[in-house]
Structure 1
């Protein structure tokens, strides 16, 4: 049987809070021009090194940063490297190991970045990408030019519905960072923004909890807020299963599109197809969300 090649794409929602400074292509271009990495997991770093403002396509790099105090191992004597061994190591500072590259695309209207999570037999975790953007958006050059900017991995709305419909839901927590009113409708955005502003907060949280044999039954408002959290934060829950409470988190179910092909070398073609599907899914859901806005 011939080998199948996996292609997978996920998405991150980026929000420039100041309406007067919302220029998403310029934001991504600025990050690309900085050519500055962010450590995301262990020794792994991510950076945007290329972005085309015409096509709104670019490349995310993944590489390792070797700490200067790392211990080295000698495979000949199967022991730690000696001082003499270490003197033989000459790696220019500009060279980094475990290099990989991944395509990304920006939909400026949706302010969503779709990115490869698997291609060329290489993987890129959604958690790493979220950490990259959260770190990079704190660069002083970004804050000076665009003010406060938030980024959250987009969750699968089907997974959020499954959380809300758990049979023995005991706890439900919604975490929402400032959304754009264009995405969710003026009414719901106004409620969230007012509560954040009244309490001088950057993050809105709502928590429900029950005891005994009762279960939480989310109403329409809570369900609407949960789907806002799926794009702008996270949904956490605890469900009674047997004698234990099992934890669920929307972050564990990111929105993804995946396909396999019979031939290798189709990464860019498949990325373009899957990123388009991701954008269509986001657009369709936001339209439904605004029309059903409580």
Structure 2
């Protein structure tokens, strides 16, 4: 009996500067209109191939760029292909192989893009999509229209908390790009305001001990970890078997996943369900931060 297909959904937090029009739907639509891919790893490229502004739904396409004019390997002769065989190759210039497509959805109020990171036994890693946005958001057509735009994969809140609860903790480092916090009050809002006042793009806070005592994180540190999970990363150092070891949330994206029966549920319906669960978690964590205002100056 075949295994039921699995679907995984991750999220990326996109932030337009406060002095620009924060129209996230227009931003994604502009990226789609460029009809351009970004090399994310090796010969793999990612592009937004479709986006509907009314539904906020779209398609991410991952494909391979190949060098048609390069050397080819002949499996029949099990050696380099001779020139006469290369003359037989005829691939239209517009075609690219190894296509894999993934759903994505923009939650405009939260400025979060939710996307399938695993579907039909094919994957689109969080790191790959982060690479796509890091480059695409620097295109001149984007910067001229929306100014400086930042994007970070939302990391696992549980992983960030686990790093702060590790035994023999010796250092905590919170690296936070300028957040986008349109409503409410809280730590993220205050960090954003401070960076804006001081013309800063990144906030970093480090707590370490130089004695044999271990660090004991406060509520403020756990709140900083939430902000960093959405807008940067958390790094810690602890003693593991007597060796100072570094830990990070960089490779721990927030993920919702499930298997499903394609005869009962469509992939799109499962994607929407998982995306809804994931964005609910994000908003719950943001609401938690707004419950109490904390001064980022300590």
- Name the TM-score class by shorter chain: over 0.9
What is the DSSP-based 3-state SS (H/G/I as helix, E as strand, rest coil) of the residue aligned with 1:251?
coil
SS in 2 for 1:179: coil
Alpha-carbon distance in 1 for matches of 2:66, 2:103 = 25
Alignment of 1:201-240 (within 5 A): 201-240=200-239
Alpha-carbon distance between aligned partners in 2 of 1:183 and 1:80, rounded to the nearest angstrom:
62
Q: What's the counterpart of residue 284 of structure 1?
A: 284
Can you give the 5+ residue segments of structure 2 that lack an aligned partner in the other structure? none
Could you state the TM-score of these two structures normalised by the residue count of structure 2?
A: 0.91
Secondary structure class of the residue paired with 2:182: helix
- Which piece of structure 1 moves more, 170-179 or 255-264? 255-264
Q: Which moved more, 1:16-25 or 1:258-267?
A: 258-267
Compute the displacement of 1:204 (Å).
1.8
Q: Can you give the 5+ residue segments of structure 1 that lack an aligned partner in the other structure?
A: none
Change (3 A) 1:206 1:142: same
Q: TM-score, normalised by structure 1?
A: 0.92
Name the structure 2 match of 1:158. Answer: 158
- Tell me what 1:72 maps to: 72
Q: 1:212 to 1:278 in 2, by over 3 A?
A: same
More helix by share: 1
Q: Matched residues in 2 for 1:66 and 1:171: separation? A: 45
**Contact 2:195–2:201 (CA under 8 A) maintained in structure 1:** no
Name the CA shift for 1:28/1:191 in 2 (closer, same or farther; >3 Å).
closer
- TM superposition shift of 1:229: 0.6
Question: What is the CA-CA distance between 1:195 and the residue it aligns to?
Answer: 4.9
The change in CA–CA distance for 1:213 and 1:196 in structure 2 (over 3 A counts) is farther
How many residues are treated as equivalent by the alignment? 293
| Counterparts of 2:215 and 2:29, CA distance in 1 | 45
Question: Deviations 1:78-125 (Å, cap 9, x if unpaired)?
Answer: 222333333332222211010011000011000001000111222110
Task: Please name the residue that 1:246 is paired with.
Answer: 245
Structure 2 residue 88 is the aligned partner of structure 1 residue 88: yes
> 2:132: which partner in 1?
132
Distance 1:3 1:292, change over 3 A: same
CA distance in 2, matches of 1:126, 1:184: 29
CA contact (8 A) 1:196 1:204 kept: no
Native 8 Å contact 1:13 1:113 kept in 2: yes
SS in 1 for 2:213: coil
